[in-house]
C-alpha cells in the first residue's frame, strides 16, 4: 500500500511507523465494536429470531413429542430485542472463562457422609420458614438474569443457613450496578460465577423488587407486561422504552432504609461449582443453586411438562434458580424458577430434562455459601 518513497522513508526513519493521533482514534473507533460483535456471535444471537411464526412452531412441538406442552407466552409483536435481552447470561465455556472451583468432597461432609437424597425434592416444601423460595422474580426490561438468579439463590441460602431468621432479599440491583467489567455489562449480560465471587469478596446489600421499598437497594427496573395473560397489570413491554442507567453508588438508594450501606453488606464464605453428580445432595442439604444454559426459540413457548430442546435457533444463554428435582411420566427433571414473572410458563416455573445435559444445562451449577 505504500509508494517506494514511503517504504524507503519508513526504513530510514522508524518514527514514521507511528500513526497520527487522529488515525489511532479512528481505527480504535472502527474496531472497538468487534469484541461485542464476537460475543453476540458466540452467544448465538439470531438476527432472524421472530415469534411471528410461533403458531406453526407450537403446533410442530406438540405434534412431535409429548414430554412438554408448548403455547403462547408472548404476543406475536413483542420486541425481538427484548426477547434476546431476556437471555443474557454469559456461559463460561463460550467465553473462555475458568469455572468456579468444584467443592471438594474432603471439604464438605454433604458429599461423603450424607444419606442418599430422596427420589423427589422441592426446597419450597422443606424450608417453609423462607418465603423467598416461593417468590418468582421479574428481571423486567434488563438483561440481568445472571444477577437476579445469583441474588435469589443467595437470598434463599442465607435464610436457610439462618434457620429462617434472615427474611430480607439480597439485592440483584447491587450486582447489576457494581459487579461490572469482567463480571458483566450490567443490563447487557454477565457471569453468575462472577456474581458469586462478588458476594465473597465485596459483599452484597439487601434490596427487594421494584416498588417494594425493601432493603438498601431495591431493583430499579419496572415490571412490564410481556406475556399474553397479564391483562394490563403492567405497562406493555413492546412499547416500554424507559431506560434506567445502572450506577454503582456508595449509599443506599432507598432513602427510607435506616441501615447504612457499609453495615448492610452480606458476605459469602466461598463461591463454588457443583457437579451434576453432587447436585441432589447439595439441593437437599443447602438449598438452591443457579443453572446457566443455552436457550433456544422453543423455550419461550414452554407451558408445562419436562422441557427439552425440540426446534428453533439458539438465542443466547440464560441463568435461573434450581429448586429441586423429580420424575414426571417416567422422565426425570430439574425443577427451576425462571425470572420472567409468574405469568410465564408454569406459574413462572419450568422443569427441564435431567441426566442428558440438554441445552448444556448440567455444566454450570453454581452457588456460594453465606456467612450468617
pLDDT of residue 112: 58
User: Other CB atoms closer than 10 Å to residue 2's CB: what's the count?
Assistant: 9
pLDDT tens for 348-369 read 999 999 999 999 999 999 999 9
More confident residue, 2 or 159: 159
Catalytic residue among 174, 223, 318, 341: 318
DSSP-derived secondary structure letter, 292: E
* For residues 39-61, average pLDDT: 66
Q: Return d(Cα 314, Cα 81) in angstroms, integer.
A: 15
pLDDT of residue 94: 73
Q: Return d(Cα 111, Cα 120) in angstroms, integer.
A: 18
Rounded to the nearest 10 degrees, the angle between the axes of helix 279-286 and helix 145-161 is 60
pLDDT of residue 337: 99
pLDDT tens for 326-355 read 999 999 999 999 999 998 999 999 999 999
Domain ranges of the chain: 48-370
Upper half-sphere CA count for residue 227 (Cβ side, 13 Å): 24
Report in angstroms the alpha-carbon separations of 339 from 69, 84, 148, 212, 285: 20, 14, 7, 17, 24
Name the 3-class secondary structure at 296. strand
- Banded model confidence at residue 31, pLDDT cuts 50, 70, 90: very low
pLDDT of residue 80: 76
Closest residue by Cα to residue 91 from 342, 271, 318? 318
**Known catalytic membership, residue 338:** yes
How much is the pTM?
0.84
More confident residue, 48 or 358: 358
Q: What are phi and psi of 68, to 5 degrees?
A: -145, 160
Q: Return d(Cα 329, Cα 101) in angstroms, integer.
A: 35
**Known catalytic membership, residue 266:** no
Percent of the chain with pLDDT over 70: 77
Helices and strands per DSSP (H, E), number in the chain: 10, 9
Specify the CATH number of the domain 48-370: 3.90.70.10
SS (H, E, C) 79-142: CHHHHHHCCEECCHHHCCCCCCCECCHHHCHHHCCCCCCCCCEEHHHHCCCCHHHHCCCECCCC
pLDDT of residue 7: 33
DSSP for 225-243, written as a single string: B-STT-TTSS-BGGG----
Q: Return d(Cα 334, Cα 370) in angstroms, integer.
A: 23
Catalytic residue among 73, 141, 174, 338: 338
Report in angstroms the alpha-carbon separations of 251 from 106, 126, 222, 261, 345: 40, 36, 21, 6, 37
Residue pointed to by grid coordinates 457499609: 262
- Banded model confidence at residue 107, pLDDT cuts 50, 70, 90: low
* For residues 148-167, average pLDDT: 99
Contact, 348 vs 368, CB < 8 A?
Answer: no
Catalytic residue among 130, 135, 142, 145: 145
Amino acid at each position: 500500500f505504500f509508494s517506494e518513497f514511503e517504504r524507503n522513508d519508513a526504513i530510514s526513519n522508524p518514527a514514521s511507523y507511528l500513526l497520527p493521533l487522529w488515525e489511532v482514534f479512528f481505527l480504535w473507533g472502527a474496531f472497538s465494536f468487534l469484541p461485542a460483535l464476537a460475543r453476540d456471535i458466540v452467544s448465538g444471537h439470531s438476527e432472524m429470531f421472530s415469534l411471528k411464526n410461533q403458531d406453526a412452531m407450537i403446533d410442530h412441538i406438540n405434534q412431535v413429542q409429548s414430554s412438554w406442552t408448548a403455547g403462547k407466552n408472548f404476543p406475536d409483536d413483542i420486541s425481538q430485542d427484548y426477547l434476546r435481552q431476556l437471555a443474557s447470561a454469559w456461559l463460561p465455556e463460550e467465553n473462555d472463562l475458568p469455572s468456579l472451583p468444584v467443592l471438594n468432597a474432603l471439604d464438605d461432609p454433604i458429599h461423603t457422609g450424607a444419606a442418599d437424597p430422596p427420589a423427589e425434592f422441592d426446597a419450597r416444601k422443606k424450608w417453609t420458614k423462607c418465603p423467598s423460595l416461593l417468590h418468582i422474580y421479574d428481571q423486567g426490561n434488563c438483561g440481568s438474569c445472571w444477577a437476579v438468579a445469583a441474588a435469589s439463590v443467595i437470598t434463599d441460602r442465607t435464610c436457610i443457613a439462618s434457620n429462617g431468621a434472615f427474611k430480607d432479599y439480597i439485592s440483584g440491583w447491587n450486582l447489576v450496578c457494581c459487579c461490572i467489567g469482567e463480571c458483566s455489562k450490567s443490563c447487557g449480560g454477565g457471569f453468575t460465577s462472577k456474581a458469586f465471587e462478588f458476594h465473597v469478596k465485596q459483599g452484597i446489600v439487601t434490596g427487594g423488587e421494584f416498588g417494594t421499598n425493601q432493603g438498601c437497594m431495591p431493583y430499579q427496573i419496572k415490571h412490564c407486561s410481556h406475556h399474553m395473560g397479564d391483562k394490563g397489570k403492567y405497562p406493555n413491554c413492546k412499547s416500554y422504552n424507559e431506560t434506567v442507567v445502572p450506577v454503582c453508588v456508595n449509599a443506599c438508594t432507598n432513602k427510607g432504609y435506616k441501615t447504612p450501606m457499609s453495615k448492610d453488606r452480606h458476605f459469602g464464605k466461598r463461591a463454588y461449582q457443583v457437579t451434576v453428580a453432587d447436585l441432589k445432595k447439595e439441593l437437599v442439604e443447602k438449598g438452591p443453586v443457579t443453572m446457566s444454559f443455552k436457550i433456544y426459540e422453543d423455550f419461550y413457548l414452554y407451558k408445562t411438562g419436562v422441557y427439552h430442546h425440540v426446534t428453533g435457533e439458539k438465542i443466547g444463554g440464560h441463568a435461573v434458580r434450581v429448586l429441586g428435582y423429580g420424575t414426571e411420566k417416567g422422565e426425570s427433571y430439574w425443577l427451576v424458577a425462571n425470572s420472567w414473572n409468574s405469568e410465564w410458563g408454569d406459574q413462572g416455573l419450568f422443569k427441564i430434562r435431567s441426566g442428558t445435559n440438554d441445552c448444556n444445562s448440567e455444566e454450570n451449577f453454581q452457588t456460594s455459601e453465606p456467612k450468617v
